[in-house]
Amino acid sequence: MRSAGEVTSISSQAPAHPLRLAIIVGALGVVFGDIGTSPIYTIQTVFNPKDPHPVPLTESNVYGVISLIFWAVLAIVTLTYVTVVMRADNHGEGGIMALITLLRRGTSTRGHRTAKILAALGLFGAALFFGDSMITPAISVLSAVEGLKIVEPTLESWIVPITAIIIVMLFSVQRGGTALVGRFFGPVMIAWFVAIAACGVGGILTNPGILAALSPTYALSFVTDHFHIAFFALAAIVLAVTGAEALYADMGHFGRRAITVGWLGLVLPACTLSYFGQGALLLTDQQAYSAPFFLLTPEWARIPMVVLATAATVIASQAVITGAFSVVSQAVQLGYLPRLRIMHTSASTIGQIYVPWINWVLMASVLTLVFAFETSAALAYAFGMAVIGTITITTLLFLYYARQELKWPLWALLTGGGALLTVDLLFFSANLTKLVHGAWLPLVIAVVAFVVMTTWQRGRHLVTAARHDIEGPLRPFIDDLSQQRRSLVRIPGTAVFLNRGDDTTPLAMRANVEHNHVLHAHVIIVAVETMPVPRVPDEQRVSVDNLGYRDDGILHVTVHVGYMERPDVPAALRLLPDDVTEGGIDLDTASYFLSHLELVADGHSDMVAWRKRLFVATSLMTADAAGYFALPPERTVIIGSRMKI
């Protein structure tokens, strides 16, 4: 039998990802949708004459912009993410929430105030991702459907309605999961990258001189000689790296090697050829600035390209929606959000989940953005701020992690890391100039999400402290039970009481004893503990403590789950050793008892009134605990009480 002292050794091995073609194709379909559709709108946004800080369409500016796009992608995506940041993984999992977990683990061992501040900054980065999740479907699908006006200008008035229909359909199918559709994502994206590469080659052949922009001297001269233009252009050039965070966030699903091969082998060359092809087109025809991506396509292929672009942007949107579900699930497990209803849509793939509440909030938000902004160009600056904000925070967190945990030398961080962070900050500063033109939107969304998450975390801490006083210590309570043998009736059967830990008494158990004077013959007190690892192996799933009262039929079981797993208490209890259950514990007929608290915002605490009301309002989102812990509803009893905060 495992003891409570053994839980400190819990670990989770990084998932093995053999480098197979199927894994690379899968990565191409899921990971690169967002960054792979950036060529649709990046260059047309840079040279948009309606921009508040327009970039004149001159030959030298075209060379400078194309060169700057190429080297920005290399610096941020290839160097920062693929080469450096993806080295920081939490047992194979990546993403900003994984970084937060790594920093929280370091905080618990060292107690550094800096680590706590950076973890809070990382939480704001995760909040920024919610803004990204709302803006990506809107700008991606809009930009693809806008190709219709190139095919037939009279269809321009249909762009917004068609976009809205596609978005409604996209969110409506989320409940069914993406397992079936996901099989087609890879081949569609391969077709997309081949198509944009072919169009790019066609454009380059008309003006091969554009290849000179591969030299960084054009980017440097553009920045140094025309800084007053180049600086503002950075706010649009950053769109070329949208989706870079997905490479890191999806590392656990496909592995670093598959993502690296997919990026260097197909995605980077295809996007580069598309950007250079569009640059060559602008050198030949300056009137093509309105839609250089679609005008680069031969006239006979424009309708197929619009269809393919729409499919690619839907895939890009799907990836970010799935990412939002994953971030929310992790935030719930880490205590930043209340329990939400989370449905697993695949029996074989744990990462495929559906969060109904988040799904419909995202759909309403995306539709609002589509009808409010109407064009992809109008949304571009809001998108850029969401992207570069997350990238900058990720870089900063990684540099601290590299110094504290990976023990990178200080000179390497100051030179290499400082250079990468400087690039990020330049892009971030440029996007600040677009605050009144839409860049405020993701910041507002992030602030709201950040306030909700930190309020929930703080309120949860206060409620836990208050519950501790109400519940009372567990062991003295069990001592009292042994003295109540005559008045306490022990009825046949097994009762499972869910609790927050092993030091307090479950409210439901205390109420049952004090009011009904009844207790089952076999009692299991269960606490679910989220570990700072993505997944916990079955052999380390449960630990047992008989509390020193084995003869009284009372056990305490801790169920360990990873922050990417859904707690399944009945399944975990079936993993108990035989010597624990052989005494008469019957899990097939066991009754489950839950303690429910009704929160009221009129108590005395150090939380301000508006945050109390926000905390209580957020608690209304809480999903049914029985469903969250996978308890059988027909054998679950809920005992409630009221608490003032």
Quickly list H helices, 416-564: 418-432, 440-471, 474-483, 507-516
Q: What is the pLDDT of residue 61?
A: 94
Q: Is the pLDDT of residue 69 over 80?
A: yes
d(CA 622, CA 209): 60
| Residue 12's pLDDT band (cuts 50, 70, 90) | very low
Average pLDDT of the chain?
84
Q: What is the pLDDT of residue 8?
A: 35
Q: What is the pLDDT of residue 370?
A: 93
User: In sequence order, what are the residues at sequence separation of 6 or more whose Cβ sits closer than 8 angstroms to the Cβ of residue 370?
Assistant: 138, 141, 142, 160, 163, 164, 167
C-alpha closest to that of 31 among 137, 143, 141, 189: 189
C-alpha closest to that of 221 among 72, 60, 70, 71: 60
DSSP state, 636?
E
Q: What's the pLDDT tens digit per position in 497-538?
A: 998 877 888 888 888 888 888 888 899 999 998 887 778 898
Which amino acid, 610? W
d(CA 45, CA 69): 13
Is residue 384 classed as helix, strand or coil in its secondary structure? helix
C-alpha to C-alpha distances, 417 to 114, 223, 248, 352, 517, nearest whole angstrom: 18, 21, 18, 34, 65
Backbone angles phi, psi at 492, to 5 degrees: -65, 155
C-alpha to C-alpha distances, 345 to 173, 178, 306, 363, 582, nearest whole angstrom: 11, 8, 30, 19, 35
Q: Is the pLDDT of residue 82 over 80?
A: yes
Higher pLDDT, 450 or 31: 450
| Residue 303's pLDDT band (cuts 50, 70, 90) | very high
For the chain, domains (ranges, CATH) are: 22-327+341-429 (1.20.1740.10), 460-644 (no CATH)
Q: What is the pLDDT of residue 26?
A: 77
Q: In what order do the strands lie in the sheet with 518-531?
A: 542-545, 554-562, 518-531, 489-499, 591-600, 636-644
Q: Is the pLDDT of residue 10 over 50?
A: no
Q: Is the pLDDT of residue 215 over 90?
A: yes
284-298, 323-337, 622-636: lowest mean pLDDT where? 323-337
434-454: average pLDDT: 90
DSSP state, 260?
H
Q: Is the pLDDT of residue 271 over 60?
A: yes
354-362: average pLDDT: 88
Q: Is the pLDDT of residue 356 over 70?
A: yes
d(CA 519, CA 509): 8
User: In sequence order, what are the residues at sequence separation of 6 or more whose Cβ sits closer than 8 angstroms to the Cβ of residue 109?
Assistant: none
| Residue 156's pLDDT band (cuts 50, 70, 90) | confident
Q: How far apart are the first and last CA of the chain?
A: 40
| Both structure tokens of 265 | 């082998």
Q: What is the pLDDT of residue 54?
A: 86
361-376: average pLDDT: 92
Q: Is the pLDDT of residue 169 over 80?
A: yes
| Residue 183's pLDDT band (cuts 50, 70, 90) | low
Q: Is the pLDDT of residue 208 over 80?
A: yes
Q: What percent of the chain has pLDDT over 70?
A: 91
d(CA 542, CA 565): 14
C-alpha to C-alpha distances, 490 to 159, 498, 580, 605, nearest whole angstrom: 69, 19, 19, 40
d(CA 275, CA 267): 12
Q: What is the pLDDT of residue 178?
A: 54
